[in-house]
Structure formats: structure tokens, C-alpha cells
A and B are shown apart, each in its own frame.
Chain A
Amino acid sequence: MLAKRIIPCLDIKNGQTVKGIQFEQLRFAGDPVVLAELYARQGADELVLLDITATVEARNTFADLILRTAKVLDIPFTVGGGIDSIAAVEALLRAGADKVSINSAALKRPELINELAQEFGNQCIVVAIDANVEVDGQWYAYLNGGRIATDRKVIDWAIEAAERGAGEILLTSMAQDGTKDGFALELTRAVSEAITIPLIASGGAGTMHHFADVFVQGGADAALAASVFHFGEIKIPALKHFLNAHGIPVRQNQ
């Protein structure tokens, strides 16, 4: 049976993981490659590496980091952050990334999704959507790391992205992000049922029950989280064991 995926996300700035990361009593101020390998060994199903810098120099550092990650990592990984062109995607895939995640650039120019899918295949194009609730009670997609609202409703945008050739949607609820109060279950369920491509849910993971909820109630195909893994609050082997005990198919580490 197809397993539900657990995906740790690393935020990278100037080639280093940001936030102090507490991992198995070890503190990584530093090399994301070491952390990526550790997560893989613990049973992470995929990884996301997010470049949160914007300068050209930092981009080159990031591409070098992707190359080093690809050499050691034997599970798939997605890279994202500021990707806005075929050339940018080509450089990252050539370095060894399996998929790329695009967000603001796709909202600004949706044709980019078609162009990337045509050039590289649907399977490696992830469209990330940062979602938040407006006063009208509806969920809208946000630009630039959640700083700028758009008039695109999340479900409509997810459907359009899929039609344009996205292979997967990464849905982050900004309202939940960082709260550790659980994923946005209703939104996740609504988007998952509206599309026929896989959905990764993100934002709000705080307990193992939250992961079970987002798979069962939210209908997510994968769940992404950062701090609960980085600070060792939830350990991936224990999470997989918990989900398995709750009848949710997950890949146990082998």
C-alpha cells in the first residue's frame, strides 16, 4: 500500500541551516548536508530544502549545497525558494535535486508551471501555496513568503496549478504555521478532494496526533514539518510507529 510520507523541511540561509537545531542531543549551527543524512537514516521519506536567502551569491552557495546533498542522500528531495525560471530549475535539477517547489513566481505568472512541466516533466514540479483566511472567511494564496495577499482563492489556485502541470501541491496554512496547534484540517481536506495530484500538508504540527489527523481527517498524502523535528520534540521513528499503530500506512525504516 502506498505509504503516507513524512517530510522534514530545512530552512537554509547562506548555505547553513537556520534556527538553532537540536537533534539527538547534537546542536547543528551548521551543515544542512549532515542533518539531511541524519533525517534520511531516521526514516524521513523525503526532504525539502528551502533557500530563504535572495542574493545571487547565496544562490550559488545553495546550488553547491544541493550538489553535496545529492551525493550523499539516497531518498528524494525537493528544493525551493525564489525559483522563477527554467534556467534556475535546470541548475538545481542538474545539481541533483529531484523536484523543485515554486510559489510566488507561479502566482505572478502561472504560465511558468506549464513551461516547467513541459521542459522537465510534471513529476518534478511542486507548486507551493501559502494560505491564509481573509475577513470574508475564505482561504487565499499569499505571495512573497506570506507577506502579500492575492485575490486567488486557494482551492481554485490548486486546481489551476494541477491543470497547468504541477505534479504535487505543497499547502501551508499560515494561520497554523508555528502554532503547534495542528494542521488546517478542513482546508487540507477541501484541497485534497478538489485535486487528483498528491497533496503535502504543512503548518501547525505539534504532536503525533496532529500527523494522524492530517492523514485521516485532512486526506493529505504527505505531511511536512520543521521545528518539531529539528528540536527533537517528535522523533521520526516514534512518529512512524505511532502512525502504524493507528492503522496509517507508513514506511518503517529498513
Chain B
Amino acid sequence: MEVVIIKYNAGNVQSVQYALDRLGVRAVWSDDPATIRGADRVIFPGVGAAKPAMAYLKAAGLDDVIRGLKQPVLGICLGLQLFCTHSEEGDTDCMGILPNSVRKFVPCGGQKVPHMGWNTLTTRSGLLFEGVASDAYFYFVHSYYATEGASTVGSTDYLLPFSAALAWDNFYAVQFHPEKSGAVGQRVLQNFLFG
């Protein structure tokens, strides 16, 4: 299997690559459109701010490449947010692959921002969560969240209910970090890669 991790200015590649190594999967880190299009699976991780990331992707033409992909694609964290229509972070127009929008958490009642640490999902369904216990914890760290909508396949309640996981055609996305979520995170990655 050929797995490509998309190379751009907000890619948190290292830990994703190590997680794939632990699964015995070799991944290529690339920004070459032909290499990305030719992969069996594409992973789009991200840590950082939406605006410079989108500017970089547009300048490199990678937004069109990603939008046009037909194989299973997995966005992680900022990757999920960049799949959405628009982000309040820097008032950024994103790729519009998923119909959700991205908003900023407002801390309230002793609940801190960033939403940092291990949390459960209140509802979830579909391929990514096969074989994962319903009360499983995942590791989150983010200050912006994707709203809920038709593409939501996993919800978490923190300050308000938000999309912890999204799926739309061949596009999958998770707000948590499967590469840092222990055995349950590994299972999510396996489900995406081999499911």
C-alpha cells in the first residue's frame, strides 16, 4: 500500500509517520501532485494556524489537488478544519470539501481553552470507529472546532457539541490526534488504512 502524507507548512508529520511505522506502514511525505494522486491513501495532518496554511496550499495549487482526490483521504486536527468551508481563525476561506464551518471556543464556567487532553465521543458511527469501545478516550488539543452537520460522524461535548469526526464521500477527518491516542487511536488509523 502506498500512503502519502501531504507536505506543507503546517504538517505535523513526525508523530503521524511514527504511528504509521508502528503499524508497519511506510509513508511518503510529498507535495508532488502526481505522487499524491497516485497514492492508495492520503493523510493530511496539521498543527498551526489556518490562514498561513491555506495561503501556502493555494499558492502551491495543493488545495485543488486535495479537492480532486478520489481515494480515501484523512484530515487530522488543522487538516479537518481546512477541509471545512470557512474558519474564524484569521477569517480564512478553507477548501470547502466538507460543509461545516470552524469557530473559536470561548472559555466559560471553568472550562479551559485550548480543549486539551483526553475526551470521549458522545455519538459516533462508521468506518473509522469500527472495533473501538463506545467509551474510548481520544487526545484533543485545539482552540477552534468544526460545527456539527450532515457530515458529522462523531461528536464531542466540550463547552458545546462539536464535530470530533467527519466523513463525506472519500474524505474523512478527525479533530483528535489518532497518532497520540494510544491503542484506540491506532485502531482508527488502521480502520482508515485497511477498512
Binding site for B on A (CB under 8 A): 1-5, 40, 45, 70-72, 74-76, 94-96, 98, 120-124, 167-168, 192-193, 195-199, 219, 221-222, 251, 254
> When A74-B180, A123-B142, A222-B117 are in contact, do A198 and B48 touch as well, CB less than 8 Å?
no
In the bound complex, residues from chain A placing their C-beta under 8 Å from that of B14 are 70, 94-96
> When A74-B181, A121-B49, A254-B182 are in contact, do A198 and B112 touch as well, CB less than 8 Å?
yes
**B118: CB under 8 A from chain A?**
yes
Considering the chains assembled together, what is the distance between the CA atoms of A121 and B48 in angstroms? 5
In the bound complex, residues from chain B placing their C-beta under 8 Å from that of A192 are 110
Q: Give the distance to chain B from A182, nearest Cβ to Cβ, in Å.
A: 22
Considering the chains assembled together, what is the distance between the CA atoms of A74 and B17 in angstroms? 12
Contact indicator B110/A254 (Cβ below 8 Å): no
Q: Which of B30-38, B92-100, B183-191 forms part of the interface with chain A?
A: B183-191
Closest residue to B119 on the A side, CB-wise? A2
Q: Give the distance to chain B from A54, nearest Cβ to Cβ, in Å.
A: 26
> When A2-B115, A197-B112, A221-B112 are in contact, do A75 and B18 touch as well, CB less than 8 Å?
no
Considering the chains assembled together, what is the distance between the CA atoms of A204 and B111 in angstroms? 25
Interface SS of A by simple majority: loop
In the bound complex, residues from chain A placing their C-beta under 8 Å from that of B114 are 122-123, 167-168, 197-198
In the bound complex, residues from chain A placing their C-beta under 8 Å from that of B117 are 2-5, 45, 198, 221-222
Q: Give the distance to chain A from B1, nearest Cβ to Cβ, in Å.
A: 21
- Within 8 Å by CB of B183, from A3, A4, A74, lies A74
In the bound complex, residues from chain B placing their C-beta under 8 Å from that of A75 are 139, 180-182
Contact indicator A251/B118 (Cβ below 8 Å): yes
Q: Show 9 A/B contacts (Cβ-Cβ < 8 Å), sorted by A.
A: A1-B157, A2-B111, A70-B18, A74-B180, A75-B181, A76-B139, A95-B14, A96-B15, A198-B117
Considering the chains assembled together, what is the distance between the CA atoms of A4 and B110 in angstroms? 13
Contact indicator B107/A2 (Cβ below 8 Å): no
A-B contact count (CB 8 A): 94
Contact indicator A254/B116 (Cβ below 8 Å): no
Contact indicator B113/A98 (Cβ below 8 Å): no
Number of B interface residues at 8 Å Cβ cutoff, please give it: 39
- Identify which of residues 82-123 in chain B touch chain A, using a CB-to-CB cut-off of 8 Å: 107, 110-120
- Within 8 Å by CB of B184, from A96, A195, A254, lies A254
Interface SS of B by simple majority: mixed
Considering the chains assembled together, what is the distance between the CA atoms of A248 and B58 in angstroms? 45
> When A40-B182, A74-B181 are in contact, do A98 and B119 touch as well, CB less than 8 Å?
no
Q: Could you give, for residues 127-164 of chain B, a 1 whenever the CB lies within 8 Å of some chain A CB and a 0 otherwise?
A: 00000010011010111000000000000011000000
In the bound complex, residues from chain A placing their C-beta under 8 Å from that of B180 are 74-76, 98
Contact indicator A1/B119 (Cβ below 8 Å): yes
Contact indicator A3/B119 (Cβ below 8 Å): yes
Closest residue to B184 on the A side, CB-wise? A254
Closest residue to B110 on the A side, CB-wise? A219
**B65: CB under 8 A from chain A?**
no
Considering the chains assembled together, what is the distance between the CA atoms of A141 and B181 in angstroms? 34
Contact indicator A2/B110 (Cβ below 8 Å): no
The 9 closest A-B pairs by CB, nearest first: A196-B107, A251-B137, A251-B118, A3-B118, A198-B112, A96-B14, A123-B141, A2-B119, A76-B180
**B63: CB under 8 A from chain A?**
no
**B26: CB under 8 A from chain A?**
no
Closest residue to B21 on the A side, CB-wise? A71
Considering the chains assembled together, what is the distance between the CA atoms of A254 and B158 in angstroms? 22
Closest residue to A40 on the B side, CB-wise? B182
- Within 8 Å by CB of B18, from A1, A96, A195, A196, lies A96
**B22: CB under 8 A from chain A?**
yes
Contact indicator B185/A74 (Cβ below 8 Å): yes
In the bound complex, residues from chain A placing their C-beta under 8 Å from that of B119 are 1-3
**B19: CB under 8 A from chain A?**
yes
In the bound complex, residues from chain A placing their C-beta under 8 Å from that of B18 are 70-71, 96
Contact indicator A1/B120 (Cβ below 8 Å): yes
In the bound complex, residues from chain A placing their C-beta under 8 Å from that of B137 are 3, 251, 254
Q: A168-B114, A251-B118 are in contact. List 15 more A-B contacts (CB 8 A).
A: A1-B157, A2-B117, A2-B118, A2-B158, A4-B117, A40-B182, A70-B14, A75-B182, A121-B49, A123-B116, A167-B114, A168-B116, A199-B112, A219-B110, A254-B184
